[in-house]
Every structure is written in structure tokens, then in C-alpha cells.
Amino acid sequence: MASDVVFVGGCEPHCRDMLEAAAETGADVAVLGGWQRATLWHPVLRKLVRGRGVWDEDHVIALNATRIGLDLLKKRSGPDSSATRTFEIRACGTFLLADQFPEHGQLFEEERGPNSSTDTTRCGRKITWYVGHDEEREPIAAAGRERCLRSGY
């Protein structure tokens, strides 16, 4: 289950576009969730989808086996302002690359910094950079975990 980038979540057009951008970077991208049907129409996804959703310890294992955890929020079916992924990825000590949303800055003020993305181009650039720069990614991931612990998330 090891990968450069992982997304655990449901299938929506916005998520698909971001995942395809992630795949275009050449990074090893793993998608876990209800994506099997989408692979029929999107050949790129066939290479990314590695199974159905994961829960509990399997979710933690998937997050700990990756460099970057994607937090892509629902836009179509009742937009989210945060998700449990927002906390789970960071609590596992994994670098989080997230959609930008206002509440995120309130939850993780000092750690928000460079690890948010608003479009596919920016997402791809950030994945390319952080997959290749452990010395920059790892301290941000550690600060996010520390914030989760300190704030009781």
C-alpha cells in the first residue's frame, strides 16, 4: 500500500481532476474508496485505484505508508468545509496537501502555510516539489501532528 500520494475518499469530478493532475507528475498515487465505477470512463484512474475504502487501523497504515495525504473536499454533493481527513492525515504525521477552505486556517494556523492547493496545476507543482524534498515536507508534517496533539484534535 506504500505510495508517494494517497487519497482516501469518494469519487467526485473535482477529486478526479486533482487525482489526474497528481498522476501526471509521475508520483506513485494510490486511491482508496468508491472509485471502481469511475475507472470505466477514466483510464488514468484505472492505474490509481487500489481498492475500496479503508477504515480504522488500515486507514492509519495507508496514511503512514505515504509521503503526501490528499484532503480533497466535496464540492458537488453538499460542499464540505473540512473532513475527518483534515485531522487524520496530520494526526498520523503525514504531510497534508489540501483544498483551500476558510476553516482550515483557523484549525491549523501556523501549519497551513504552503500545503494547500486550489487548482490542478498548483496541486501538481506541490506534489512534484514535496515528493522530492523530504527535508521540507517532513518538518511540516511533524508540526501538523504536534498541533493535532496540542489542540486535542
| Domains of the chain and CATH, by start | 3-151 (3.40.50.2000)
Q: Give whole-number Cα distances, 23 to 17, 20, 133, in Å.
A: 10, 5, 18
Model pLDDT, residue 81: 57
Of 94, 87, 105, which Cα lies nearest the Cα of 66? 94
Model pLDDT, residue 82: 62
The three cell numbers locating residue 141: 508534517
Distance from C-alpha of 126 to C-alpha of 121, rounded to nearest angstrom: 9
pLDDT digits (tens, 9 = 90+) for 58-88: 999 999 999 999 998 776 555 565 678 889 9
Residue in the block written with cell 515536507: 137
Distance from C-alpha of 90 to C-alpha of 75, rounded to nearest angstrom: 22
27: pLDDT strictly greater than 60: yes
pLDDT digits (tens, 9 = 90+) for 93-148: 999 998 876 666 667 765 544 467 778 999 999 999 999 999 999 999 999 999 99
Model pLDDT, residue 102: 65
